[in-house]
Amino acid sequence: SFCLSIIKKYYNIIGLDPATTENILSSGQNENIQRDAFMRALEYAYQTNPQETVALASYFSSRADDYDGLYDAVVKINRHAESSVDPDEWYQHALKMYPKKFDPTSSNNFTSFDAFDINIRKYFFASLYGQLAVLQRDIEILQELPEAINGRGKVIDNSVAFDTFLNIIQTLQNELMPENEHSAYTFEIYQNYKQQIQMMDDTKLSSYKKENYPEHARAMDHLKKTLKNLSEERLNEDDFVSDARDASAINTALINLAKNTYQNCVRIKQENTAMYFSDMERYAYEILKHENVAKVIRDNLQEVMIDEFQDTSKLQDTIIEMIASPNCIFRVGDTKQSIYRFRQAKPALMRSKLNESEKIVEETIDTSRQSAKIILSRNYRSDARII
């Protein structure tokens, strides 16, 4: 709503038709435009690069007329591009992540896992992080269930193993998605991840009889299957390198298709003087690039307060920086509670600002500091008077 208010007031700065601000697309209408834009881009791809496009389509489906999987991939890619400050630059960087053709003499090559672009490694490690979160939840479910008794009348106790598992998971998650990215996302970290997963899978856990404790048995079965699946998903470095080289041509075709789809979307919405919610941030950003407009807004804001900052995208954070005067931004968040990665939230933004700021406690706030990290160690919502 804040971005829309900027657009309604300063639309002429970027030559936007004012009718656009009154024609906000529904999610269904936006979906139809995306589909139309995708099919136009796909048709163009078949005309200009038929061989690569056929290979790309077959990668997502064996049926010649099935493009649903490919369409979903394009939509996900474009969401990331749209949330960046410069979508064109984002697409260019994505293309450079994979060399167009393997050349042993080129520096832009996949010779080892650690030579991959950091974003490729980061996304891979993020998927491992998510798998650990599932494993953690499986353990927590079992811990929350009431005690169970075995055939000898003794309590079935896996508490020591579960506590060990949770400690391992916490350590691995910190290694996979560290606050300080220096020396992060290495193959050595992945090897340690594999070893720890294998160790947990090899640990013998006491089982439950299904007829006596069906809920316990289901939960334990799910935990063991999760561990088994994770332990079997093991790749060596040669597999990574080989797969990446094979995916190079596919990636180039996919990114070009996504970029053309995005450009078609922009064009179609402009032709229909319409915009979707995600377009509001883009238009507001383009307006605020004119410093005279940004200054007018900045001079009228004494404080800028952001809640749930861990769920902020790069584009949103850039807009915040453009409208805020120095030392007037107050951000509140918890990186462990980030739930909007699918909306391109970047918890790393908050982690980077935490690393840049000097830690202080609540009782010693000094407003003269340019940047400060305040640890809110007390949970005021759990105060006895409130409860």
pLDDT at residue 343, rounded to an integer: 47
State how far the Cα of 97 lies from the Cα of 139, in Å rounded to an integer. 37
H/E segment holding residue 305:
strand 304-306
**Cα–Cα distance list, 103 to 106, 154, 208, 245, 253 (Å):** 5, 64, 56, 10, 19
State how far the Cα of 339 lies from the Cα of 273, in Å rounded to an integer. 33
State how far the Cα of 283 lies from the Cα of 315, in Å rounded to an integer. 11
Inter-axis angle of helices 118-144 and 159-176, to 10 degrees? 160
pLDDT at residue 233, rounded to an integer: 84
pLDDT at residue 106, rounded to an integer: 53
Domain edges within the chain = 25-106+249-274, 116-234, 301-382
Dihedral of CA atoms 72, 74, 76, 78 in degrees, nearest 10, equals -150
Inter-axis angle of helices 87-97 and 237-271, to 10 degrees? 160
Contact by Cβ (8 Å): 331, 316: no
User: Bridge-partner residues for 360, per DSSP?
Assistant: 374
Contact by Cβ (8 Å): 49, 254: no
pLDDT at residue 90, rounded to an integer: 93
- CA–CA–CA angle 214, 215, 217 (5° rounding): 65
Q: Name the CA radius of gyration of the chain, rounded.
A: 25
CATH 1.20.210.10 fits 25-106+249-274, yes or no: no
Other Cβ atoms closer than 10 A to 309: 23
What is the pTM (predicted TM-score) of this model?
Answer: 0.71
Contact by Cβ (8 Å): 76, 254: no
State how far the Cα of 32 lies from the Cα of 239, in Å rounded to an integer. 39
CATH class of 301-382: alpha beta
In order along its 387 residues, the chain shows pLDDT tens digits of: 899 999 999 999 999 999 999 999 999 999 999 999 999 999 999 999 999 999 999 999 988 889 999 999 999 999 999 988 999 999 999 988 876 555 555 545 567 888 888 888 888 898 899 899 999 999 999 999 999 998 888 999 999 999 999 999 999 998 998 877 777 899 999 999 999 999 999 999 999 999 999 999 999 999 999 999 999 987 788 888 888 777 888 999 999 999 999 999 999 999 999 999 999 999 999 999 999 999 999 999 888 888 888 888 889 889 998 999 877 888 888 766 654 444 444 556 666 666 665 554 444 445 555 667 777 767 677 777 776
> Which residue's entry shows tokens 């995600």?
278
User: Bridge-partner residues for 24, per DSSP?
Assistant: 275
Contact by Cβ (8 Å): 113, 187: yes
Nearest C-alpha neighbor of 110 from the set 123, 124, 125, 121: 121
Inter-axis angle of helices 68-83 and 27-48, to 10 degrees? 110
